[in-house]
Amino acid sequence: MKQSSSRSDTLLGGLSGAPDVDTELTDTSLLQAMLDAEAALARAAADCGVLPAPAAQAIVAHCRADRYDPTSLGRAADATGNPVVPLVRELTAAVPEHARPWVHLGATSQDILDTALVLVTRRATEPLLRHLDAAADAAARLADTHRATVLVARTLGQQAAPTTFGLKAAGWLVELLEVRAGLLRARATLPAQLGGAVGTLAALGSAGPAVSERYAEHLGLAASPLPWHTRRQPILDQAAAIGGLLAGTGKVAVDVGLLARTEVGEVAEGGPGRGGSSAMPHKRNPVDSVLVTAAARRGPGLVATLFTAALQEHERAAGDWHAEWEPLLDLLHLAGGAAARCARMLDGLQVRPERMRANLDATGGLVLAEAVAARLAPTLGRGAARDLVARAATRPGFRDALLTDPDIRAHLSRPEIDEALDPYGWLGSADRFVDRALAAHRGTLP
């Protein structure tokens, strides 16, 4: 039997993740990140004259994940509450005898695991951002192509007034750009963690701050002014950014799913062979919409877990820190899948302008009631104009009701009524807003 190497290789994980993101979330990847932290610690301590350079070189040489078994380390972790303790034990046994006293010098388990999770987060964010950029590019194409494609906007589940599909896609685009900006901000401030047993780095003596700074430099991470063992804002920033990504892509997915309903039929997901049913041969389900929505529904609970776990006591937490590890990795897994599927969904989206126009026309012009009232308002006042149009809206055939209402005809001619009922005349600044969204998108391109 083939053993799964990443979450995307599991029976259900392939429905929620993306292989290139999940590659950064495997046990081996996390183990390598822990060893990268140990190697950086040895290098930094040697740079500051705290340990001999030959010892540092020997430690670095043995900080390779392929030398260790994640499964056995995980089993051994049950005795100590985290996998760093057995890893340090095995690393110490692996290095030459002259280097053994210097392994893990000055650090505590939380330093290594926190830093490793930060490294994993940063590494997983790279392919995640590529998927997000692809989704934004697809949304931009839709916005530009369909800036003049009219459809009815819906508010509170009901038909409301005309808009354009280009503006709807532009809204998706801006949502994705804002999500991207949040991820970049959170990534830029990801800090290394090094504080020792209680956040004083006492074991490193007066060299503690210097070692901490060099440690961060070797890892390419931000240097925190103080250890953040129980100040969990870096984790909360990541949780909020990733949760925002799931909400943003989920918004797009929900819209697509609603527009793809049989009774609406304004869009369809592309891709041959996708969306089939085991029972109904005719079905063509919006699969990417469904899966992205599912990921978005799962996100808030994971974000809530991380925020709940942030209330940590004194200098080191009992259980709250431990509660963060898997939810953070789960969030990254879901975010990768949501971003990748959102990109695929938008890139292959089939838009049906004729169906959009038919749905807009289905109420006989009622969705332009606001436009008619706006033409009456200058002479009648807004309240009276609204009441007149509302009265006409209760009668069959909205256009005929307008044309046969003497109070309305006293102020509007037949051509003026027909002009008011033209959806292209009631699009406001939709085209300009599309231009703004596309300009914002161009500003994010390399």
Q: What positions carry a catalytic annotation?
A: 277, 316
Across 368-393, b (16+ Cβ under 10 Å) vs e yields bbebbbbbbeeebeeeebbebbeebb
CB neighbours of residue 47 within 10 Å: 19
CA dihedral 233, 336, 19, 13 (to 10 degrees): 90
- What is each CA distance from 18 to 9, 12, 159, 377, 382, in whole angstroms? 10, 12, 36, 54, 53
Degrees to nearest 5, angle at CA 336 with 331 and 338: 90
Q: Is the torsion defined by CA of 140, 142, 144, 150 positive or negative? A: negative
Nearest to 372 by CA among 429, 406, 419: 419
The pair of structure tokens assigned to 250 is 């989920």
For residue 279, the 8-state DSSP code is S
DSSP symbols for 61-127: HT--GGGS-HHHHHHHHTTTTSSHHHHHHHHHHHS-GGGGGGTTTT--HHHHHHHHHHHHHHHHHHH
